[in-house]
Structure 1
Amino acid sequence: MDGAQQTRKSTGNHAEGVAARYLMSRGVNILERNVFSRGGEIDLIGFDEETLVFFEVRFRGGGSLAGAAESITPTKQKRLIRAASFYLHKHGLWNASSRIDVVAIAPGKSTKYRIQWIKNAIQA
């Protein structure tokens, strides 16, 4: 892994940690992080009350032209839907109430981070 990939990976891991702490402070029970499957990667999986939620975490620095949430392309959306479907199938959870949310993180002005939790952001 070259230096740029390593920096991107460590930034992603840090953002996922920030997102997990934020979500837990709002009552989400985080079950898993960085789940890989044939469908793709899911950053975080947890329960928001009775709903199983697949979280896509996006971080954008202050100089980015597009916001974190806007950076999710249609191709990425399809991968997330496929990965969530694979997870549900693998664990026999087809009847479970589930959704895909986005946690968008950017540097804040008055706080360290500006975090936006978009529930049901990606529809299957």
Structure 2
Amino acid sequence: MNLFNKRQQGKTYEVMAETHLRRHGLVAVARNFQCRGGEIDLIMRDRHCWVFIEVKFRQHNHYGSAAEAVNWRKQQRIKRAALFWLQQQGHAIEHTEFRFDVVSLEGTPPQIEWFTNILVEG
């Protein structure tokens, strides 16, 4: 895996995460959505709920886990991008069910953890 550049590595881990989520019944809608406000790695559906997913990989957790890397600032960028995407698709935010998840991959071979509904305002 060292021969791959970071973008290729990221794509590999996103595919692993998507495969894991598909096995749990989610349906893929989009990958790597980018806008001025931020980026979303995966957009999927869980029945009637839109799911905006950040995928993080860490070889080691010396500086914290992969999930911990999704800090408040990163969460806000994901939220801005998701709200923009929903608006682009013609969904009224007040009447649309959505959530934010993180898929964490750590180690070799990567161990996958799925954290649902990580962004709770209030």
Q: Report the TM-score when normalising by structure 2.
A: 0.88
Instruction: Structure 2: give runs of 5+ residues left out of the alignment.
Output: none
2:76 is paired with a residue of what secondary structure? helix
In the alignment, does 2:66 pair up with 1:62?
A: no
How big is each residue's C-alpha offset from its partner over 1:28-68, in whole Å with a ceiling of 9 and x where there is no partner? 00111001112211000010121110000001003642100
Q: What does residue 114 of structure 2 align with?
A: 117
In the TM superposition, 1:78-117 aligns within 5 A as 78-93=76-91, 94=93, 95-107=95-107, 112-117=109-114
Q: How many residues align?
A: 117
Q: Report the TM-score when normalising by structure 1.
A: 0.86
Q: What does residue 51 of structure 2 align with?
A: 53
Runs of 4+ displaced beyond 3 Å: none
Relative to structure 1, is the Cα distance of residues 63 and 98 closer, same or farther in structure 2, using a 3 angstrom cutoff?
closer
Q: Match for 2:120: what amino acid?
A: Q
Computed over aligned residues only, the root mean square deviation of the Cα atoms, in angstroms, reads 1.8
How big is each residue's C-alpha offset from its partner over 1:56-104, in whole Å with a ceiling of 9 and x where there is no partner? 0001003642100001122111101111111111111122200010011
In the TM superposition, 1:17-32 aligns within 5 A as 17-32=15-30
Quote the sequence identity (%): 35
Distance 1:15 1:35 in 2: 16
Distance 1:63 1:26 in 2: 26
Relative to structure 1, is the Cα distance of residues 30 and 72 closer, same or farther in structure 2, using a 3 angstrom cutoff?
same
Distance 1:31 1:99 in 2: 14
Distance 1:63 1:73 in 2: 15
Instruction: Structure 1: give runs of 5+ residues left out of the alignment.
Output: 1-5
Q: Match for 1:86: what amino acid?
A: F
